[in-house]
Structure 1
Amino acid sequence: MHSAARGYEGFAGRIGEFTSESDPAWRPRPTAQEGAPNIVVMLVDDLGFSDLGPFGSEIRTPFIDGLAADGWLFTNYRTAPMCSPSRAALLTGLNPHRAGFGFVAHIDPGYPGFACELPAAAPTLAESLRAGGYATFMVGKWHLTLESRLHDGADRSSWPLQRGFDRYFGSMDGFTSLHHPHRLVQDNSVLDVAEFPDGFFLTDELTDRAIGMIDELRVNERRKPFFLYYAHTSVHGPIQAKEEDIERYRGHYERGWNALREDRFARQRARGIVPAHAELPVDALADGDRIPHWDDLGADERALFARHMEVYAAAVDEIDQSVGRLLARLDELGERENTIIVIASDNGGTAEGGPTGTRSYFSQFGLHGAVPDGWVGDVPRELSEIGGPRLYGQYPTGWARVSNTPFRSFKSSTYEGGVHAPLVISWPAGAASPGLRDQFVFVSDLAPTLLELAGVVRPEQWNGMAALEVDGDSIAGILADPAAPGREQQYFECVGRRAFVDGEWKAVSPIPPTRAQGAAGGTWELYHLPSDPTETRDRAGHEPERVQALAERWREEAWRNTVFPLDDDGTLHSVRPDTEASLSEPVDLVPFRPPLERFRSARLTVLRSFEVHAELDLEAGAEGVLLAHGDQGGGYLLALDGDQLLLSYNAYGAMRRVRASAPGSGRHRVALRVRADLGLRWSLAVDVDGVEQLRLDDVPMLVGMAPFTGISVGYDYGGPVDWEIYERHRSYRFRGGRILSLRYAPGERSPEDATVLRAIEQEMRDLVD
């Protein structure tokens, strides 16, 4: 146990005991049954270390500023390099790999550290608190369920309600559109809506739902404490915001990313967020080869890049607004004083947008492997559309570097830019000694801390098994005493990139080792963090023995935490269980039902040929959407539009449409045939009663996470594939006849599909036997 946890006695005493009132750190702490604190954990997606006002940002965050001013602001908080691992560690108190999440929940290679399912023997923070008498609520991004188990017929044992939450509303997936969410789940069921009203914005909706859950509890139970886990979908891509908030930042970023980075760094040093001797990394250390010099850009490029950052700033502002609305309601209820509020990020800012950013997010996100020459990563659109519902964007790498000021590198890296994140904790009733804290704290420390502050004991048995021992330790002692020691050691790993912190020293290996080099081998760098917190001076050449010792300690911790195997050949992404094969069998879809879930839809179409066969019984004047798959980020749509048969294809924002005369009244067979060609291309054809009517050749294949919105039949759900159709007809529900049947029939896989299905579950059973 870390020494920080042993300092708790001076903070609040033990349950049933009283500490001398002469001790300025003393506060009485009630049990969970009477007067226990409410707990709100607000987790922000892909937020960089410097993006909040207290950490040096120019972005307007007055409510978070207020929480930091009266609470604790942590300058040495670290998390995992990616989102799902951080969330798993936060909710279990385990290290990410021991919690089953060595990567985000989009792989399933069959290894314990990459199971992408929370262990059954690890009670979540919600489960522990509920067992201790709390009501438990969650809104927002879950991202802790295998994507193959997100569909409506899946085993729900890893869904939020089954892992300790009484109520849930949000997106089970890793992200979604804020204007037109691709799929929302309420409790255990998909939300059945055809379209969203004008002005709908998910951040506002999540806040409404969170406040509603609290209100409904208080109507029925005045004294029961609650735990609210609010997991924002912002500011993960696609980065979107409301136009009135974007307008607030118009012109703020015309000076460019170098100037803004210098400004943030100066404020950080002035406020003590970073020490005065810290250096701002430059040139190659600051990813200079990936970031254009602002002074070398043309006027159009500057305007484009500035607009991307205006949208990002507006999204952060909207997160702060959600904090303000929640605080206002707690004040009205008289519960603000006794509510613990935690605000944190799940990893560093991301460089997914590339050097120039993108207005075509899905053209480059979620791809594993090279794309063909000539692949379009950014389909040009009007600047005013960036941030709005018609465009899925991501800001450029230069702004991500500003987000991570003063650190180097980005999300998924084990340099500080990937793992050093903001953390603010507020608890007016228990703030005995608020202020800055520079102790090393890791994300797995948060669950034990909150349980201790709540007076709830984590169960020793769970699901008929001995509960897994936590890796984190309570930091309650640090809250009480600015001089209390923090964590000493922690390993990090992400796609083979490694790091190990031991006291004042950090060893970093930014490149996965080869198998011949071994787990502790390969290239390692060494940094002395007190004198060089921004990793600018590699000491490995001067202290090879220390490097070797830290590398060996990393290897030992990796074995203890089920980190192996390292992803040195890409198999963690390409190998999947053969139990997923059934998701690629032909499926008959029912008209007007909620869309088929994203991953279930993708198994029918992505990286393969496929056909869709529909039987129609048409009346005169029949019109509307027959099928739609995707959204403004990419997709395809087949409709009867007036007297025409329409095929729309949205190639990451580049629209193509072909039309022919619509079939007349009576029964007809309509088939959409999609052929996978080399070079990640598709050719599409539409037959009516066996005769080809429409054709689109040589279009970019929708790959990676596209089409993101699942298949809807009889209407175009949510984010539309074809905006022109949406403007005239909204979801364009089919009418004037019947869709008698509609079947998706997957065909041959593309030669460029590297997926390998293995009998992983049988192999695991054989090992046990």
Structure 2
Amino acid sequence: MNEYSDGYPYPVRDYAGFCGRVAERASESVPAWGAASQARTDAPNVVVMLMDDMGYSDISPYGSEIDTPALEELAAGGYRLGNYQTPPMCSPARASLMTGLNPHRAGFAWVPHVDPGFPNAAMEIPADVPTVAEHFRAHGYATFMVGKWHLTPEAKMHDAAEKSAWPVQRGFDRYYGCMDGFTSLFHPHRLVRDNSQVVIDEYPRDYFLTDDLTDQAMSMVSELRASDPSKPFFLYFAHTAVHGPVQAKAEDVEKYRGRYESGWDHIRAERFRRQIHVGLFAEDTECAPRNTEPGFDVPAWDDLDDEQKKLFARYMEVYAASIDNVDQNLRRLVDYLKVLGEYENTIIVFTSDNGGTSEGGATGTRSYFSRFGAPKTGLPEGWMADVPRDPALIGGPQTYAQHPRGWAYAANTPFRLYKTFPHAGGVRVPMIVSWPAGLPRAVDDDGVRRQFAHAVDVAPTLMELAGINPVSERHGLPARQMDGQSFVRILHDRFAPAARASQYTELNGRLGFLEGRWKAVFPEPNGAGWDAGEWELYDVEADPAETRNLAAAHPEKVRDLGEKWRAAAWWNQVFPLNDDGSFNRNRPATELGLEQPVTLYPGTPTLERYRSAKLVRLRSFTVDVDLEYRDGDQGVLVAHGDQGGGYVLFIEGGRLNVAYNEYGTVRRASCIISAGRHTIRLRFEVLPEFQWTIALEVDGMVTAELREVFQLVGMAPFAGISVGLDRGGPVDWEVYERHGCFRYTGRLHSVRYTPGPKAAYSPEKIVAMDQRILAAFE
């Protein structure tokens, strides 16, 4: 039998023996979850800082030209893992890092925007799986989290939801951030503190989320130290940067003005040269050429025209500025720990959840939601995946932008392909580990570790460094055994063997299996079969950039690794695969309650994004406003969305106005309104080709129309529904410039949403799982 990386043979045939070994290991684990425990007085603090969609070469210790001096300091005294790998998408990676389980065993085959009813896509960490925060808290640690969570099903993120999958219920004493996958850095659509929405009517004009998250993290530590000067803390700092929409502060962007006019080919070559120089790769390593796969290919920079070069360089200036700002904030946090006298005894881990992303397409986009999350096929004529906005706006609060995939090609130097792929460009990312007091480096040690390590190994590594054992149970259930293996030994000894020899990968039907120096990749879903002709094979020791496919020369190795992938997949509940997109289409009947009509009143906090979207997505609907208007009254009656797309109804200068933001193009209509009590209706009627007609009615009379506007699909509108003002990012920037959130000054009684029929082309299917189960047993 072959040995799987956790020491158990696979496929598992000796179930009694297997269960006995689990029991033996569990008996060594103390205490139970929730048991009181005191940490050692010399226990280290732990900070895990996670970036979003950042490539292997995007920080200076890994070859980048982007200024990241705080990370350079950590690397100078710490360790750089040159072969750290991760699942190729954010939520699966975060689930593995948070639990020590492979992503499918943790319930995250994809991101939590699906709910097909399978265990591998439950989109909640299982009840018998403690998080790393729960392990640390059981040993006397204060546990804090700031930033992106993205481990809760989107149907359970609204304010009335059952909250067992929220951060505080999963081990964190304090939480502040965005539970969604991303948000605007200037106007976050929804911030949560602990278990409650943070209601912010209007953000300060100089607000920036990365700065805010750092302020909140430092405040949590400060509050702890004011009451207990010695209690250790675990801080999970999960950045929203640099996930789309990519945004940065103007002063940071200005710093990089003109730096990227040389293009992605030159930047990649320079980064690779520096990577060789600092010892991340052997001198004879070959850098992968530009990606040529259809739909993921990258043109030569010199083949672009001057206008394209200028526009594309702007995207990279913003991306670099956003990373620079993260480093500035890391410096603030590190300096604060030094003031406290706790930096030396703090373990700091810095990494990314997957490689750089290609979701901006070949040309990038200034209208993120019209490209990302939009239907991939069947888009109507006239649909703009990049609404032409002034390039000077890219990176600021008015544009939701994403860079061209050529910059992801540079970000992932020297590897192939991008986020979501099992190739190295999707799974190999930087990792820096620093602990001056506990992991001092020898003078002749450059700190580079080329041994393989994986996201699933992070939790057991941190626990070993901190000297704590895993809890033995959670909520009365025996705790599930971790898949991860601590890689502490390679930090202490640069010549030590890797803690694990093999690892599977799966996402969207793309497969990978690594064992030692060999890596097999099944690159595309719905392939013709498992024979050697469908798989690629690479010797990743000699060819870490996966430039030479050796499958034809070693068919027996391909078959061997393919069967090992299959065995690992059965053990890790990988099946069924989402290789046909059905996970994305099928929705449970429990979500029907989110589609019921709702009446909202002034003063109600913004209705959560997904609850709001269920009322309007790919369907007809009406919005009925009951108000009393007096001459001079003005303000927003109802707003849904933000600069990425949305609509707003407001009164200004004696006129009733509707503004529809079509992914950056704003269309407006208006009519005169007279004094008195009125029923105002916005009627959205579904048309073919992903369009709506919007009618504005006053007391039953149509007074204005917007005909044949493209619907807001995918993740838009992203900000939820606000009544009596426009929160969470303005829909109409011109109105915002004049009035800010523009609170209504008159008497607004209520706003009622009534969903209508769905469009015939809506792919969503409600799957009544209970009916299916009953039918199976009849």
TM-score by length of 2: 0.93
- Equivalents in 2 of 1:119, 1:529: separation in Å? 34
**C-alpha distance in 1, partners of 2:593/2:533?**
40
In structure 2, the partner of 1:715 is 725
1:756 to 749, 761, 765: 765
CA contact (8 A) 2:38 2:140 kept: no
**Residue 427 (structure 2) pairs with residue 415 (structure 1):** no
**Cα-to-partner distance string for 1:707-743 (whole Å, 9 max, x where unaligned):** 000010110113100000000010110112x221211
Aligned to 2:15: none
Q: Which residue of 2 aligns with 1:53?
A: 60
Q: Structure 1 residue 558 and structure 2 residue 564: aligned? A: no
> Which structure 2 residues correspond to residues 675-690 of structure 1 after superposition, within 5 A?
675-690=685-700
CA distance in 2, matches of 1:428, 1:573: 46
Give the conservation status (yes or no) of the 8 Å contact 2:345–2:436. yes
Counterpart residue type for residue 754 of structure 1:
P
Distance of 2:107 and 2:459 partners within structure 1:
17
Structure 2 residue 63 is the aligned partner of structure 1 residue 81: no
Contact 1:44 1:233 in 2 (8 A): yes
Q: How does 1:116-195 map to 2 (within 5 A)?
A: 116-195=123-202
Q: 1:500-546, CA deviations, whole angstroms, 9 ceiling, x for partnerless residues?
A: 001110000111135x737x887210001111111111011111111
CA contact (8 A) 1:137 1:167 kept: yes
Instruction: List gaps (5 residues or longer) in structure 2.
Output: 8-27, 29-36
Is 2:345 the partner of 1:330? no
**1:524 pairs with one of 520, 529, 535:** 535
1:31 and 1:455 in contact (8 A); partners too: no
Residues 406, 71 of structure 1: alpha-carbon distance in 2 compared, 3 angstrom cutoff: same
Q: Is the 8 A contact 1:406 1:534 kept in 2?
A: yes
SS in 1 for 2:448: strand
Moved more, 369-378 or 313-322: 369-378
- TM-score (structure 1 length as normaliser): 0.94
Aligned pair 1:39/2:71, yes or no?
no
Paired residues for 1:306-325 under 5 Å: 306-325=313-332
Pairwise CA distance, 1:280: 1.6
CA distance in 2, matches of 1:620, 1:135: 56
Whole-angstrom CA distance in 1 between matches of 2:277 and 2:292: 23
Q: Is the 8 A contact 1:636 1:650 kept in 2?
A: yes
**Which letter maps to 1:498?**
L
**2:4·2:502 contact (CA, 8 Å) conserved in 1?**
no
> Matched residues in 2 for 1:303 and 1:286: separation?
25
1:492 aligns with 2:505: yes
Residue 401 (structure 1) aligns with:
409
Q: How does 1:420-459 map to 2 (within 5 A)?
A: 420-433=428-441, 435-459=447-471
Identity %: 53
User: Partner letter of residue 666 of structure 1?
Assistant: G
- Are 1:378 and 2:386 counterparts? yes
Q: Per the alignment, in what secondary structure is the counterpart of residue 609 of structure 1? A: strand
1:112 maps to which residue?
A: 119
Alignment of 1:628-643 (within 5 A): 628-643=639-654
How do 1:733-748 residues align onto structure 2 when only pairs under 5 Å count? 733-736=743-746, 738-748=747-757
Q: Aligned to 1:696, which of 706, 723, 732?
A: 706
* CA displacement 1:128-162 (0-9 Å, x = unmatched): 10011000000000000000000000001100000
Any idea what SS the aligned residue of 2:321 has? Answer: helix
Q: Measure the CA separation in 1 of the matches of 2:428 and 2:262.
A: 26
Tell me, in whole angstroms, the C-alpha distance in 2 between the residues paired with 1:71 and 1:32: 25
C-alpha spacing 1:768/1:323, structure 2 compared with 1 (3 Å): farther
- Within-5 A mapping of 1:57-72: 57-72=64-79
Match of 1:364 among 371, 382, 406: 371
C-alpha distance in 2, partners of 1:3/1:632? 47
Counterpart of 1:751 in structure 2: which amino acid? A
Among 277, 282, 285, the residue aligned to 1:278: 285
Find the aligned partners of 1:661 and 1:733 in 2 and give their Cα distance: 20
Q: Which residue of 2 aligns with 1:25?
A: none
Aligned to 2:611: 600
Aligned length: 742
C-alpha distance in 2 between matches for 1:235 and 1:766: 47
Question: Where do residues 584-663 of structure 1 align in structure 2 (5 Å cutoff)?
Answer: 584-662=595-673
Q: What letter is aligned with 2:469?
A: V
> CA offset at residue 287 of structure 1?
7.4
User: CA separation in 1, counterparts of 2:589 and 2:474?
Assistant: 30
Q: Who is 1:512 aligned against?
A: 525
The answer to whether the 8 Å contact 2:532/2:555 transfers is: no
Amino acid at match of 2:93: S
User: How far 1:183 moved relative to its partner?
Assistant: 0.4
Change (3 A) 1:377 1:345: same
Q: Which SS does the other structure have where 2:615 is aligned?
A: helix
Partner amino acid, structure 1, of 2:670: R
Matched, 1:535 2:546: yes
Task: Please name the residue that 1:249 is paired with.
Answer: 256
CA distance in 2 between partners of 1:287 and 1:280 (Å): 20
Contact 1:3 1:485 in 2 (8 A): no
Q: Is the 8 A contact 1:342 1:423 kept in 2?
A: yes
Alpha-carbon distance in structure 2 between the residues aligned to 1:611 and 1:217 = 49
Listed one character per residue, the Cα deviations across residues 653-694 of structure 1 (whole Å, up to 9, x for unaligned) are 0111111112x2221111100011111111100100010011
SS in 2 for 1:57: coil
- Kindly state the Cα deviation for residue 322 of structure 1 after the two structures are TM-superposed: 1.3
Query: Which residue number corresponds to residue 221 of structure 1?
Result: 228
Q: Does 1:544 align with 2:551?
A: no
Alpha-carbon distance, 1:274 to partner: 1.8
The Cα of 1:334 is off from its aligned counterpart by 0.2
Give 1:368 shift. 4.4
The residue type paired with residue 402 of structure 2 is Q
* Residue in structure 2 matching 1:392, options 383, 396, 400: 400
1:670: which partner in 2? 680
In structure 2, the residue matched to 1:706 is 716
Contact residue 247 and residue 318 of structure 2 kept, 8 A: yes
Deviation, structure 1 residue 4:
11
Instruction: Give the match's secondary structure for 1:228.
Output: strand
SS, match of residue 117 in structure 1: coil
Letter in 2 for 1:511: E
1:52 and 1:61 in contact (8 A); partners too: yes
C-alpha separation between the residues in 1 aligned to 2:222 and 2:502? 42
What displacement does 1:592 show?
2.8
Q: CA deviation at 1:3?
A: 9.3
Most deviating of 537-546 and 335-344? 537-546
Query: Which amino acid in 2 is paired with 1:43?
Result: L
The structure-2 alpha-carbon separation of the partners of 1:44 and 1:766, relative to structure 1 and needing over 3 Å to count, comes to farther
Aligned 8 A contact 1:4 1:485 in 2:
no
Q: How far 1:279 sits from its partner (Å)?
A: 1.1
CA drift at 1:650: 0.6
State the Cα deviation string for residues 549-591 of structure 1 (Å, max 9, x = none): 1111101111111111112322110011110011011111122
Aligned to 1:18: none
CA displacement, residues 413-448 of structure 1 (integer Å, 9 cap, x when unaligned)? 111000001000000001244611111000010000
Give the SS at the match of 2:754: strand
Distance 1:118 1:762, change over 3 A: farther
Alpha-carbon distance change, 3 to 337 in structure 1, aligned in 2, over 3 angstroms: farther
Q: Are the structure 2 counterparts of residues 184 and 553 from structure 1 closer, same or farther at C-alpha, using a change threshold of 3 Å? A: same
Q: Which segments of 5 or more consecutive residues in structure 1 lack a partner in the other structure?
A: 6-14, 16-29
Aligned residue for 2:24?
Answer: none
Alpha carbons of structure 1 residues 765 and 83: separation in structure 2 relative to 1, 3 Å: farther
Aligned pair in 2 of structure 1 residues 31, 159: CA closer, same or farther (>3 Å)? closer
For the aligned residue pairs, the C-alpha RMSD in angstroms reads: 1.9
Distance 2:212 2:509 in 1: 38
Q: Is the CA contact 1:140–1:206 (under 8 Å) kept in the aligned structure 2? A: yes
